[in-house]
Amino acid sequence: LPLLREICLRLDGLPLALEMAAARVPALGLTGLLRSLERRFAMLSGGRRDAAARHRTLQAAVDWSHGLLSPDEQALYRVCGAFSGGFTLDLLQAVAQAPEQTSPDDRDWWLVDTLAQLVDRSLVVADDGEAPRYRMLETMREDARQRLRAHGEEDSVLGRQLLALTALGRRVDKGPTIERKGRQAFLLAEHDNLREAIAWGCGPAGAAWRNEVVELACLVAQSATFSSWRLVAVRWLEQCEPLAEHADTPS
């Protein structure tokens, strides 16, 4: 049951994906199937021969849905794939870029309207909070990330994401001491995004943002003091230690 539950979660409960995964169980077993989900689009290609073409592989089904989007919606879909732990509208506004012909006054409304289309098509999921938080199903996020990479946009989008998280971390850090709960809430909500941003910033692609990744790791460590995230933050600081020797950030 634990393996089945994890497989269903990783496949987002999508009926087509579950049907294709079930066909692989005799050959792979549950453990092998779960391990193979790292390459889900290559592995889930066993649809019924009498099914419509778009239902014969998981990739074909996603391609068909993607093809229904306008160019603007496709572009925002790719950007949404950069977020690991979901995102707020403010965070997306700091990372997404509106079409060149969009006026500054219309930019925010363009983003809201385009994001609403992705939600309506179930490519992005919104929670029921007062200030909604958005996320992509893992299947869609993996596809969006692949498309982001194929379009040569990955480094620029991840760089803007790193800058946005650093700016958010600064705002949280400048709050009064009594707002510690708010700092912990920030760390909890953005944990996955912070983890991936710092890991990417420590790699070769993040060389241009070396100062920001060191600053972000330090801001996270301050917010994590005396919390359950302290050891995680310490590991992030250790990861950034080689960068800090060459970074130009305030001590």
pLDDT of residue 51: 45
Q: For 129, left (φ over 0), alpha (ψ -120 to 50), or beta?
A: beta
Whether 198 and 221 have beta carbons less than 8 Å apart is answered as no
Kindly give the confidence (pLDDT) of every residue in the chain, 251 residues in length, as a single tens digit, with 9 standing for 90 and above: 888 888 888 787 777 777 777 777 777 788 887 787 776 665 555 544 444 444 457 778 788 888 889 999 999 999 999 999 899 999 999 999 888 888 877 888 899 999 999 999 888 999 877 778 999 988 889 899 999 999 999 999 999 999 999 998 888 777 655 455 667 777 788 889 998 999 999 888 888 888 898 888 888 887 776 667 778 888 888 888 887 666 555 44
pLDDT of residue 4: 84
* Helices and strands: H and E segment counts in the chain: 13, 3
Residues 6+ apart with CB under 8 A from 104: none
pLDDT of residue 230: 79
Distance CA(104)–CA(111), nearest Å, equals 12
pLDDT of residue 53: 45
pLDDT of residue 55: 43
pLDDT of residue 200: 92
Q: Shortest CA distance to 123 belongs to which of 16, 88, 114, 194?
A: 114
Q: Model confidence over 80-112: pLDDT tens digits? A: 999 998 999 999 999 998 888 888 778 888 999
pLDDT of residue 91: 93
